[in-house]
Chains A and B, each alone.
Chain A
């Protein structure tokens, strides 16, 4: 199982550790179950990244194949795609990293990427180059054997597939889970092998391993391997240049706020006035304003001032937005789809305002005010104003 170790100029993304932790768990189980000895291999590209290789070993990799070059300092999709594809196809290199690699090795069995602005695009192009299947935004992985009857894949006949990676992805509503499988075409008319089975993984979902910090020792003793790949570049690919890079502060600051007030589709009866009321409420208690994912798709007609200020992706809390842990989280008119809960469940105290007694947000709340926001919020605002002035 290959994992793209993502980082920004040496700053590792948490999802890299999370993927390696999950890969370790999956492959330990895989090797036990199938009596095989397949490895977790991290692929690491960058400049001055040798040190990061040890951290990848600590995080669960058996081996790291790295390419260290000034041209690789920052990701460029086309350039990275060529280097990554060359690495995973290089049998002798992969054998150096994992001695147990078979002589028939052609391509990886599995590959994992982060579902973020680095991994999402690179996974797409790498899998286009390797001509295999890719699932995106996955939050659960299982390896199992399965018998499939499929019109095309098996020509309508049942066929056993072994070592299948079941890639679970929540759909946009957050209520459905789709299992995506990447399967060879066993139908002789269209026979094709698809490898690797690959996906991008939602950041913050999988648990990294406990850090043990003895990577150096493991490498010295030969239990783990670090192998260098020397990339060669085509001058055309280097004409894609990064001219300037600037790190910007998050202007909204959800992560740093002690109180976050979030709203969802429950504002629908009077979006303009409700958003204004929520805005006033947030100012009163010095809170930052967040939204649930559906609101970032701007489903309501509200004034452009409010739309541009609030109904934007940068305010989304959830698996495709920010993960926050404020002292107090107030969820207004949010039903609590799973991808929203992922973003707020670490909050100290959660207060929800929602008329639906079965809303899933209730199970993540300490206080559940079962009512409409148009009714509840004015009372809260008045009572807080009254206390503030007394």
Chain B
């Protein structure tokens, strides 16, 4: 299982991100509706968690080696610990250096590319989430793929690997706004980077897979208790990155200004109804019913 380059063995990486927890009770909003970052807890992002599930699938079904990685502040090791619980990672890699901070997607992809190249194994398959809940660009995955020279497959809802031909088969969901949705089956050779669609489902069809899943899940919890012994923290120097291509210095884009979106001009003049005015509510019920009946 620890045989690095043996035929049939899959070495996988999963890239994850520490993100604000937008779930109710944890998230805090300012009175103007914007996120109160200092009061909001940070966790493993939900799309990153999906990527981890896909990595676990590779472990269960293809006996893959999995390295989880993240670029972020030292506190991002919590995201890696959470990732470990989901995918039973064999190693955790945190790329953490003040010089990485402020990176846009291109500079982030540069750092992660170097990290993945330095995992000590030839990586065949990388998993990434759909997008981060805070940044929401969805660009880092495909840009990392491109920099690594890997095939990129996005919006993946299901996948399988043919270990003999070293091909990946993936089912993608392609939403075309205003037209329709397409389910597309593709195949391509490894190495590849796949970004998981939010509707990704892992499907353990065989009993043996379910048993193995249960065993690895237990193992994952055990490992996570002692996650620090699986964790390596990398500085820019450790990664050997060219500092002109990372962090703020290596980011083509800057955030110039953040402003409140001006309130649009009222396009309708609402009739304001007092909820205690039952008579008026009845009239509204009548209006709704008329439209509903008109439809039938």
A-side residues, CB < 8 A to B, are: 8, 11, 13-15, 74, 76-78, 81, 116-118, 120-121, 123-125, 127-129, 131-137, 146, 148, 150-153, 166, 170-183, 185, 190, 192, 194, 203-204, 236, 239-250, 258-259, 265, 268, 271, 284-287, 294, 296-300, 312-313, 323, 327-328, 330, 335, 337-338, 341, 345, 349-352, 357, 360, 362-372, 375-376, 379-380, 383-384, 387-388
* B117 contacts chain A at the CB level, 8 A cutoff: no
Q: Are B134 and A172 in contact (CB under 8 A)?
A: yes
Q: Are A13 and B292 in contact (CB under 8 A)?
A: no
**Number of B interface residues in the complex (CB < 8 A):** 94
Q: Are B285 and A383 in contact (CB under 8 A)?
A: yes
* B229 contacts chain A at the CB level, 8 A cutoff: no
Shortest distance between the CB of B145 and any CB in chain A (Å): 7
Partner of B295, one of A14, A120, A286: A286
Q: Which residues of A contact B178 (CB under 8 A)?
A: 13-15, 203-204, 323
Q: Are B142 and A124 in contact (CB under 8 A)?
A: yes
Convert B255-294 into 0s and 1s, putting 1 for each residue whose CB lies closer than 8 angstroms to a CB of A. Answer: 1111111011111101111111010011011111101101
* B120 contacts chain A at the CB level, 8 A cutoff: no
Knowing that A173-B33, A367-B271 are A-B contacts, what are 20 other residue pairs whose CB atoms are under 8 Å apart, sorted by A's residue number? A8-B179, A118-B176, A121-B138, A125-B143, A131-B252, A133-B106, A134-B252, A148-B256, A166-B256, A171-B136, A177-B261, A204-B178, A239-B189, A245-B183, A258-B291, A297-B133, A298-B23, A351-B284, A360-B263, A371-B275
Convert B164-179 into 0s and 1s, putting 1 for each residue whose CB lies closer than 8 angstroms to a CB of A. Answer: 0000010001111111
The 25 sampled A-B contact pairs (Cβ below 8 Å) are A77-B142, A125-B143, A134-B137, A136-B139, A180-B256, A240-B189, A241-B188, A248-B181, A258-B295, A259-B295, A285-B289, A285-B291, A286-B295, A297-B23, A299-B22, A313-B199, A349-B291, A351-B284, A357-B272, A365-B270, A367-B270, A368-B273, A370-B274, A372-B275, A383-B286
B-side residues, CB < 8 A to A, are: 22-24, 27, 29, 32-35, 46, 104-106, 109, 133-134, 136-139, 141-143, 145-147, 151-155, 169, 173-189, 195, 198-199, 244, 248-261, 263-268, 270-276, 278, 281-282, 284-289, 291-292, 294-296
User: Which residue on B lies nearest to A166, using beta carbons?
Assistant: B256
| The 10 A-B residue pairs with the shortest CB-CB distance in the complex, in nearest-first order | A371-B275, A133-B252, A383-B285, A363-B266, A133-B253, A240-B188, A368-B270, A124-B142, A194-B252, A128-B146
Bound form: Cα–Cα A171–B136 in Å:
8
Partner of B182, one of A132, A180, A247: A247
Bound form: Cα–Cα A135–B289 in Å:
45
Q: Are A124 and B105 in contact (CB under 8 A)?
A: yes
Q: Are A259 and B292 in contact (CB under 8 A)?
A: yes
